[in-house]
Amino acid sequence: MSSIQTFVFIDFATNYKDENVLYNLCLLPVPRQQFLEPNNTTPPQDLFIVFSLKKISIADFHKINGFINQQKKPVCIFAHNGNRFDFIVLRRQLNKLNMELASDVLVADCMYAFHDILENKSQGGAVREYYWEPYVKPNVDYTLFNVYNRVVINNRVPVQPHRSRDDTYMIFRISHVLGQKFLDWADNPIKRRRCREVQDGPIQRR
């Protein structure tokens, strides 16, 4: 498969006690070229959806699906701790609707990417029991806010963790700083999988 052309960073806001109760979702699409422009730190226009029914409706699905399909392909969806949270939340909602995103849409967990790049680790696949496998747990914290404060030094914008718009912005700024290393990681086919391969399972927050 060719190199990823659009990186769609997503984050769900859900009820803390019941992840099946959805509040909102942010999707931030970033073209590949922007990662090669170090001074271009302005995020593209995002899609922000408030779920009035506390779930993804058919209308919401078509809005999400249409937004993703209008991006330059190949498209890969990234979420921080996505394999244990956001992708499972999305899978449950798609199953309830009996709907799917396009068969060529990919997903990858950017927590894995940030760990692998910053710890200079090359092994580890698209799905792991713990993000640091097969190595020992790192001494530093890989929560999104912690990584943002460590990596983003210039033009850092104050953010509020666990707000979907702020979370996607942090993912964008971190990955943008990592630049070519992030692109190389994302282009490795063993680090990603098709969205349709995501299965329902236990959820674990950051």
Per the listing, tokens 């190389």 go with 184
Q: Could you tell me if residue 1 is inside a domain?
A: no
Asked if the structure places residue 197 within a domain, the reply is no
- How many structural domains comprise the chain? 1
pLDDT reading at 1 higher than 80: no
d(CA 55, CA 182): 32
DSSP for 68-102, written as a single string: HHTSPSSEEEEETTTTTTHHHHHHHHHHHHT----
> Is residue 199 domain-resident?
no
Q: Give domain status of residue 77, yes or no.
A: yes
> CATH number for the domain including 79?
3.30.420.10
Instruction: Kindly state whether residue 202 falls inside one of the protein's structural domains.
Output: no
Q: How much of the chain exceeds pLDDT 90, in percent?
A: 86
Pairwise CA distance, residues 45 & 17, whole Å: 31
3-state DSSP assignment of residue 189: helix
CA dist., res. 52 & res. 56, Å (int): 9
CA dist 182 and 32 (Å) reads 10
Q: Residue 206: which pLDDT band, with cuts at 50, 70 and 90?
A: low
Q: Among residues 168, 146, 167, 170, which one has the least CA distance to residue 156?
A: 170
CA distance 196 to 101: 7
Encode pLDDT of 36-47 as tens digits: 999 999 999 999
- For the chain, where are the E strands, in sequence order? 6-14, 22-31, 47-50, 75-79, 106-109, 193-194
Which pTM value belongs to this model? 0.95
Contact yes or no for 22/124 (Cβ under 8 A): no
- Is residue 68 a part of any domain in this protein? yes
Structural domain of residue 117, as residue ranges? 6-190
User: Is the distance from CB of 17 to CB of 58 less than 8 angstroms?
Assistant: no
Examine residue 53 and state whether it is found in any structural domain, yes or no.
Answer: yes
Q: Give the integer Cα–Cα distance in Å for 32 and 58.
A: 30
d(CA 101, CA 121): 31
**pLDDT tens for each residue of 78-135:** 999 999 999 999 999 999 999 999 999 999 999 999 999 999 998 888 888 888 888 8
